[in-house]
Chain A
């Protein structure tokens, strides 16, 4: 269950952002999870639901998006999606390919609701 450890890191990052933004209520956290990240989406969601109320409101939503593994061929520069973990270029058949997307867990955006009406004016 390394999902809990990832959620802990995620919520720590969100916490830093909220502080930097001058506070407010977090309503939505958007996250991209790659198919090669080893994360099980259901367990990730469960860990989130379990841990988020301690830090933010339980109304805070997790918007989870799965990202297919994308690679670029080192030989012919062809960009393609990795299916069934076959790390081979479909064009030139080389296996010298570089994963450019789909192996990480990424915080995309944080939506914050602030009751602070001055804020909009001041900035």
Chain B
């Protein structure tokens, strides 16, 4: 009997992280900024995507991969506005890179300016998975309460921006934009905070400008002219 211990010291997700980095580079090189949208169910990811598509209209090409536990309702809503592939997780709580790659293939690997990934509604599990995104955005609606960042630190720590939605409901709900911003900044000081309201469209222009800015900044390293399709 020969008992021995092999010291490894390796990140359990190192293979997945390397795959995600390679995919991110591939998409970035050809001018696609990958945007991973995360939130609780019902925070308004689909509505934000609809408004984004309308704002960009013919100026920017976009496509979306919609993660859903079982149904394709969100995909149906979005399909008149942009190419959509549905990623059904069969009840799983998050998306993983192979699903994203399959969705991209289903779309014919389109050369778009922005590829959005609408993650499944969950503020915990998706935070642990790199989907090759350049930008991780966490959405929080005013109806959810302003104590979310402290409750889901990893999600807010790993995101680059927080989008506060349903601002029109602010007079009716116990939610403070200042409180949620302060809470989020304790966890991620660099977190960019944006607000919007789907009903009157306020904040959408700011959001799209932010996306444009990120497109330019993040893809500059690939030395390609930032998408002038």
Contacts and interface: CB of A to CB of B under 8 A. Distances in A.
Interface in B1-19: 1-13, 15-16
Nearest to B96: A5
B128 A85 contact: no
Given A87-B189, A117-B2, A2 B93 contact: yes
Chain B residues touching A, range: 20 to 34
B12 A113 contact: no
Given A6-B13, A38-B127, A38-B154, A114 B2 contact: yes
A112 B13 contact: no
Contact of B7 (A6, A24, A88, A109): A109
Contacts of A37: 128, 154
Nearest to A86: B186
A13 interface: yes
A63 to B, nearest CB: 11
A106 interface: yes
B125 A85 contact: no
B134 interface: no
A101 to B, nearest CB: 12
Given A2-B128, A38-B125, A85-B153, A106 B12 contact: yes
B129 interface: yes
Interface residues of A, number: 42
A109 B157 CA distance: 28
A1 B125 contact: yes
A123 B127 CA distance: 44
B10 A107 contact: yes
Given A85-B150, A87-B189, A107 B8 contact: yes
A87 B202 CA distance: 32
B12 A85 contact: no
B10 A106 contact: yes
Given A2-B129, A85-B153, A110 B6 contact: yes
Interface of B: 1-13, 15-16, 92-94, 96, 124-125, 127-129, 150, 153-155, 157, 185-189
28 contacts: A1-B92, A1-B93, A2-B93, A5-B94, A6-B12, A9-B15, A13-B15, A36-B153, A36-B154, A37-B154, A38-B127, A38-B128, A38-B154, A39-B128, A86-B186, A88-B186, A95-B185, A105-B13, A106-B12, A107-B9, A107-B10, A109-B5, A109-B9, A110-B5, A111-B6, A114-B4, A117-B2, A120-B2
